[in-house]
Structure 1
């Protein structure tokens, strides 16, 4: 089977690239290892699909503002893509496909139905309207490059172990990273790119939970609160985030913690000491907290310490804090009997509760991958390989990852669009023929 362009992977980047490429006149087909499109997309945004984030859409400065949300060894690399197809273009494009978006908290944009399945249904309709074939249950196991035509020979393995060969003049690698391997995003795209001569920036989990070394995590499990968290490496704070924090038996989760996951993963992989400090009272400075509790305990000195925290802290927090402060054996201690030394322990715990990070929850629970194919080997602004003419990369497979809140899907849409547009321009100019 031959098509001018084959796209490996029917995830977000591959789907966008396929629709755009066909609209620009390129005979396009998709190879997908699963039995349906967009399996990973269904999991995003708690099943609602956080398509993008409007909070950084600031007109002419949108590309620069967006760049702050992305990470890459080549820090400026994403800008050349984001400036071509940013948030406004994404919102308009989905509207054009028949999928109007709605904004929820913190600028996060979702389909109006709040169902990730709607995104896939729209793409399925778009593929059918354009007669773009998707060859399901085809896992690409090898790609052979020739200087003749066809340039690419793509060897696939079907679910019955049968070998099938496809050929094309151009190839898009949109096979994802290593996060959520149960969806097919198992790092195989890296292997294919490396066989074609590309280098790999060692992948680590990103947007991922933290596993802590702390004996009382089970007692804290289930607590959700608004707080602030700081990741420190060898004692030096490298990133801070504010918002919702979740306590679990293994450690910490929630949007605030997920943002810190990539920093922890990278530094743990390098053997550094990593800690996370939680601020349970982010709305008050250290001095304001002391003043508040001194007044509170002064007024209610006749109450027990446990009673004094009613309405201030989550109930499940209090017994653990009493343990940390060393008065858990005195549950009926009155506020008026607290020593200054014990009070200082409470102040420190409420503003600077430090935990040792021993691991993340791994690729199986990560939302994306940090690291990937080295972007110095790609042409900035087109995403074509500098090593293999006619090969383009899009999505998570390259060394670009975004923050929590829709930015990784935005990268998928942006890179898929730009790769397709760039290829169409090259075909029109007669290059790589």
Structure 2
């Protein structure tokens, strides 16, 4: 079967590309290995689908600089060449045009008004049906053959029907590779897009999990498990701070999680892969400087000097934290030591722990639990601003398959929508200009 455009993958990027391409008059079809579209979308935003962030607006140079820090790529500036074409305003309009109004919750995170990820899939399903875009399910791409003559691409697949695998072949003039990265393998993202791109001459930049929980080596993690608190986390590499984020921090038996940890996890994973020494320091009182903390605690202990140290933290720290802090400070064998009897040496241990509690990072929770893949196909091999391959004319990449990933908070889905849209509009322009020259 022949189509003008074949799109490999019915994830976020592939869906945005298919709808846009059809609206621009391109005969498009999608090849999808799963039995339904957008499986990974259902897993985003705690089932609510955090599909973008208000801070992706670009009205001034300072906003562009701030946004560029939210996206990561070995080729500086590459993500901006796409996001400037399709940012937050275009995203809001795009979904409104499909019948999906958005709403904003905390920290600029935007969701469907229903707060249900299923709404996003339902709207895309309707959009594909309205446009008569075929989606060929249960079809895994095995190989791509590039020819000089028409048709340019022959896509060899395995299609499963009633648990029976059959070979199927499709042809197209243009091809979009939107096969995703390595995160959420249960949704069908197994890195096959990297293999396909590699066979076509593209280079893979080493991949690591991003927006992922961190495993730490610490004797008392079991006691800390279940604690959630507002703090600030710093990731340190070979003793130097490389990134800091404030927000909620979760303690688990395996290690650390929560928004603040997820934001710094990319740097931790990247340097762990290079066998650097990685630690995370947690600031339990980010609202106070070290001097202010000392003044606060000295005053507190001075007023309540008659109380036991273990009781002096009531109302200040999470109750489950206190026994562990006492162990770290070396006074756990003296549970009823009075505040007035604390030595300056012990007080300094407390001050250090409250502002710089250090945990050795040993690993991440892997791609299975990660929200994004860092690394991917080298963007220097793509045309900046169109996403067409420099190696294979007519081949475009979109979404997580390339070396672009964003921070926690809707930025990765924004990249998917933006790259899918830009690839489709660039192709439509190429087709139009080609027709004019004939």
TM-score by length of structure 1 reads 0.99
How far does residue 266 in structure 1 lie from its aligned partner after superposition?
Answer: 0.8
Q: Does the aligned pair in 2 maintain the 1:289–1:347 contact within 8 Å?
A: yes
Match of 1:69 in 2: 70
How far does residue 171 in structure 1 lie from its aligned partner after superposition?
Answer: 0.3
Tell me how far apart the structure 2 counterparts of residues 6 and 111 of structure 1 sit (CA, whole Å).
Answer: 28
Task: Please say if 1:52 is aligned against 2:57.
Answer: no
Match of 2:359 in 1: 355
5+ residue gaps, structure 2, are none
Tell me how far apart the structure 2 counterparts of residues 199 and 248 of structure 1 sit (CA, whole Å).
Answer: 37
Match of 2:280 in 1: 276
SS of equivalent to 1:426: helix
How far does residue 64 in structure 1 lie from its aligned partner after superposition?
Answer: 4.1
Q: Does the aligned pair in 1 maintain the 2:58–2:87 contact within 8 Å?
A: no
Superposed, which structure 2 residues align to 1:387-406 within 5 Å?
A: 387-406=391-410
CA deviation digits over 1:404-430, x for unaligned, max 9? 000000000000000000000000011
Match of 2:264 in 1: 260
How far does residue 41 in structure 1 lie from its aligned partner after superposition?
Answer: 0.4
Match of 1:95 in 2: 96
Q: Does the aligned pair in 1 maintain the 2:58–2:84 contact within 8 Å?
A: no
Superposed, which structure 2 residues align to 1:221-300 within 5 Å?
A: 221-300=225-304
Q: Does the aligned pair in 1 maintain the 2:56–2:87 contact within 8 Å?
A: no
SS of equivalent to 2:37: coil
Q: Does the aligned pair in 1 maintain the 2:37–2:121 contact within 8 Å?
A: yes
Match of 1:345 in 2: 349
Equivalent residue in structure 1 for 2:215, among 211, 218, 222? 211
Q: Does the aligned pair in 2 maintain the 1:63–1:86 contact within 8 Å?
A: no
Match of 1:156 in 2: 157
Compared CA separation, residues 264 and 177, structure 1 to 2 (3 A): same
Match of 2:7 in 1: 7
How far does residue 193 in structure 1 lie from its aligned partner after superposition?
Answer: 0.3
CA deviation digits over 1:151-175, x for unaligned, max 9? 1110111232211111100000000
Match of 2:38 in 1: 38
Equivalent residue in structure 2 for 1:382, among 386, 390, 394? 386
CA deviation digits over 1:246-293, x for unaligned, max 9? 000000000100011110111011110001000000000001001000
Match of 1:79 in 2: 80
How far does residue 332 in structure 1 lie from its aligned partner after superposition?
Answer: 1.0
How far does residue 55 in structure 1 lie from its aligned partner after superposition?
Answer: 2.8
CA deviation digits over 1:348-398, x for unaligned, max 9? 000000110000111000000000000000000000000001000000000
Tell me how far apart the structure 2 counterparts of residues 65 and 246 of structure 1 sit (CA, whole Å).
Answer: 27
Tell me how large the CA RMSD over aligned residues is.
Answer: 1.1
Q: Does the aligned pair in 1 maintain the 2:55–2:67 contact within 8 Å?
A: no
SS of equivalent to 1:161: strand
Tell me how far apart the structure 2 counterparts of residues 259 and 410 of structure 1 sit (CA, whole Å).
Answer: 16
Task: Please say if 1:123 is aligned against 2:124.
Answer: yes
CA deviation digits over 1:20-61, x for unaligned, max 9? 000000000000000000000000000000010003425244
Tell me how far apart the structure 2 counterparts of residues 277 and 143 of structure 1 sit (CA, whole Å).
Answer: 47
Task: Please say if 1:111 is aligned against 2:89.
Answer: no
Tell me how far apart the structure 2 counterparts of residues 253 and 268 of structure 1 sit (CA, whole Å).
Answer: 17
TM-score by length of structure 2 reads 0.97
CA deviation digits over 1:112-168, x for unaligned, max 9? 000000000000000000000000000111101000111111011123221111110
Tell me how far apart the structure 2 counterparts of residues 97 and 372 of structure 1 sit (CA, whole Å).
Answer: 30
CA deviation digits over 1:162-205, x for unaligned, max 9? 11111100000000001111111111100000001000001000
CA deviation digits over 1:194-247, x for unaligned, max 9? 001000001000001110000110100010000001111100110000001000
Match of 2:368 in 1: 364
Tell me how far apart the structure 1 counterparts of residues 344 and 110 of structure 2 sit (CA, whole Å).
Answer: 49
Match of 1:306 in 2: 310
Tell me how far apart the structure 1 counterparts of residues 363 and 69 of structure 2 sit (CA, whole Å).
Answer: 26
SS of equivalent to 2:400: helix
SS of equivalent to 1:172: strand
Deviates further, 63-72 or 355-364 = 63-72
Match of 1:133 in 2: 134
Tell me how far apart the structure 1 counterparts of residues 95 and 392 of structure 2 sit (CA, whole Å).
Answer: 32
Tell me how far apart the structure 1 counterparts of residues 115 and 381 of structure 2 sit (CA, whole Å).
Answer: 38
Tell me how far apart the structure 2 counterparts of residues 8 and 421 of structure 1 sit (CA, whole Å).
Answer: 17
Tell me how far apart the structure 2 counterparts of residues 132 and 274 of structure 1 sit (CA, whole Å).
Answer: 48
Q: Does the aligned pair in 1 maintain the 2:103–2:111 contact within 8 Å?
A: yes
